[in-house]
Amino acid sequence: MAAYTLKVRRYQPEATEDEKRGAYWESFDVELDPTLSVLDGLLQTRDDHDGTLAVRCSCRAAICGSCGVKINGQSTLACKTQIGEAAAEAARLSGSSGERGRNAQDIPSSSTQRSGGTGREAEDPSGVIGREAEDPSGVIVVEPMGNMPVIKDLVTDMESTHWEKFRRVTPWLLPAGPPPEREYIVPAESMVDVTQSVACIQCGACVSSCLSMEADPEFIGPAALAKAYRFVGDPRDGQTTERLFDLANDPHGMYDCTHCFSCIDACPKGVAPMNQIMRLRRLAGDEHEIRDVNNGHNHEMAFVKNIEKKGTLDESLLLQESYAPGVKGKLMPRVAAIKGLLQSLPTAVRGIRTGKMRSVPKLIPGVHHKLPGDAQGHVKEIYERAEESRIQLNLYIIGEGGEEDTSAEAVEPESVSEESATA
């Protein structure tokens, strides 16, 4: 047994005491075997110290998806996170080589301690929300999931941010033609493509960590889009083009994802939602030639072409190439291209003002800033190497597996997500 401190972000809307109005932090000391989970620590807190602590859970085995929270700033499942590891991570984040917790005998007689600081949200240099300079090393910070309204303590309202969006993607099979006399039979290999998205347990950890959703709460989001791929990739579904068209032409649809990898890090089941979103995009833009309302496909292509050719991003060419690709596009721009370019002007001006785009003279096409040494050459080499490895990565990046990709090893979700994450 070891002792641990859980610093929990609390919110008790029914509270009448002044110090409990709004959100506040409260610390609790618990004693547990290090191999038990943070959820076990929270349940011990509720049972022994404060029966008003609200936490949602059911299976305690990473199956039901109920116990999503943030631990040390990372969205995850409380029941899948060992408390000893969480304390070690907390110590690492606070920059200390300190012990994981304290020995059981060091626990003060009152094992529940209010940390003070009602309504405060401190951010330490390690970037973990809730950690404060005076916190002892190894304090595990537990918060409700992000991007969702908090109902009470660690319980969030997943209806508007998760379930509503989940229903938005029509998460059921829409088969073509008359139903068969018995079940729909498909070869097992043809389901390999959707194995990863089938593994989702709807915990919302990816939604909680999604950076695009922070900027645009209407973004359909990683969990719902991963589920959309589950049916787009199902050989029995008869509405593939319609589904892709719908998701591409929703201004808050699949092109809202900024490839930040956060959902891949957060997902406890190896679903890798970002990869599923990339596969939706490839299918829509390349195979079904769907041009989306946000010009996302053309922008992505222009971005890749630009860096591949120059070894760095030439902002002066990016917008024009996105809206008016190629020589023909520039000589005879479509009305939609001119309109799109004009609409992008405020973004370009903002980019110049914030320094994201380079100084005005360097925005002249061809007068592009050169990186020191042969940095641009190295980037071009990376592109060539990536192109050579493309077949290997096809299965989970663009959904076109070669024969070797259908091996059991390639199908295993967790290993695949790691491979994809390094791509």
Judged by the rule CB under 6 A, the positions of this chain that interact with ligand SF4 are 200-206, 209-212, 222-223, 226, 257-263, 266-267, 269, 271, 273-274, 277
Give the closest residue to 287 by CA, choosing from 399, 388, 377, 366. 399
**Which of residues 59 and 260 has its CB atom nearest to ligand FES in the complex?**
59
Closest to ligand FES by CB, 55 vs 284, is 55
Quick one: 1 or 61, whose CB is closer to ligand FES? 61
Question: What's the closest the beta carbon of residue 397 comes to ligand SF4, in angstroms?
Answer: 13
Beta pairing partners, 71: 74, 142
CA proximity to 55, closest of 153, 161, 151: 153
Shortest distance in whole angstroms from residue 152 CB to ligand FES: 17
The nearer residue to ligand SF4, 171 or 365, going by C-beta atoms, is 171
Contacted entry of ligand SF4, ligand FES, none for residue 198, CB cut-off 5 to 8 Å set by kind:
none
- 57: partner contacted, choices ligand SF4, ligand FES, none (Cβ within 5-8 A by kind): ligand FES
Sheet holding 74-77, edge to edge: 74-77, 68-71, 140-143, 2-11, 23-32, 112-113
The item of ligand SF4, ligand FES, none sharing an interface with residue 58, based on CB under 5 to 8 Å by kind, is: ligand FES
For the bound state, the minimum distance from the C-beta of residue 283 to ligand SF4, rounded and expressed in Å, comes to 17
Q: How far is the CB of 45 from ligand FES (least distance, A)?
A: 16
Closest distance of CB 304 from ligand SF4, Å: 17
Residues forming beta bridges with residue 112, ordered by sequence position:
28
Closer by beta carbon to ligand FES, 66 or else 275: 66
CB of 379 vs ligand FES, minimal distance in Å? 42
Residue 67: contacted member of ligand FES, ligand SF4, none (CB under 5 to 8 Å, by partner type): ligand FES
CB-CB contact of 255 with 294 (8 Å): yes
Residue 79 binding result from ligand SF4, ligand FES, none, given CB thresholds of 5 to 8 Å by partner type:
ligand FES
Site residues for ligand FES per CB under 6 A: 57-60, 62-67, 77, 79
Q: Which is nearer to ligand SF4, 46 or 60 (CB)?
A: 60
In angstroms, give the least distance from the CB of 226 to ligand SF4: 5
- CB nearer to ligand FES: give 72 or 94: 72
Rounded Cα distance, 407 and 278, in Å: 22
Partner in contact with 240, chosen from ligand FES, ligand SF4, none, beta carbon below 5 to 8 Å by kind: none
66 binds, among ligand SF4, ligand FES, none (CB under 5 to 8 A by kind): ligand FES
Orientation of helix 240-248 relative to helix 273-282, angle to 10°: 100
The nearer residue to ligand FES, 157 or 287, going by C-beta atoms, is 157
How far apart, in whole angstroms, are the C-alpha atoms of residue 291 and residue 323?
Answer: 11
CB of 232 to ligand SF4, least distance (A): 15
Place of tokens 């110049």: 352
Give min distance, CB of 377 to ligand SF4, in A. 29
Closer Cβ to ligand FES, 21 or 60, answer by number: 60
Cα–Cα distance between 27 and 162 in angstroms, integer?
Answer: 29
